[in-house]
A and B are shown apart, each in its own frame.
Chain A
């Protein structure tokens, strides 16, 4: 059963600490998305990769957020330094084209 795997599922950290979230896309998928979900803003696209190359990260605060794909089986989203307003659920999704998105279970981040 192919699925997108995200780790960790939950993370509580102190303000100022670095946070790294990981995603294993579905094998064979060449498109990877990072989304953030909050009650106030809903689902926001943070970054989008095609064939491991970043195509759009306009939704990501550049000063503290970074997204990479070291290889085809791993995508990472890093926040340094973290702030309380970064508290949200972060989803990774993968697909074979920009309109196809299979979502992982998400990482619930709490910054205190």
Chain B
């Protein structure tokens, strides 16, 4: 089955700086790669996703890049703000079209 790893598990950055979280996966049949954000006391919410026919996708301050050959995709957040503090999950789909969740990355934005 799909093996998913996220790095780092915790990331602390200064407000205004950039943050990058990486997700590696094992199933070469994966074609869908989403990132979710979970704020304290809430359920995860989809913030950006990418499909395998695209290398990069941007939405304002967030972007996702995909390297299918190396089987990893990354979340990039620029000009970080306090409201970006949360836990971020990658959840690539497996060959059964199910989302397989990473362990999460706690992002801390220091004022």
Contacts and interface: CB of A to CB of B under 8 A. Distances in A.
Contact of B32 (A48, A56, A93, A99): A99
A102 B42 CA distance: 12
Nearest to B31: A99
Interface stretch (B19-27, B63-71, B72-80, B97-105): B97-105
B47 interface: no
Contacts of B32: 99
Contacts of B102: 42
B101 A99 contact: no
- The number of chain B residues touching the other chain, given as a range, is 10 to 19
Contact of A105 (B43, B99, B101, B104): B43
A91 B101 CA distance: 14
Contact of A98 (B44, B45, B97, B101): B97
Contacts of A43: 44, 89, 101, 104
Interface of A: 4, 42-43, 45, 48, 56, 91, 93, 97-99, 101-106
Interface of B: 32, 34, 41-46, 89, 93, 97-99, 101-104
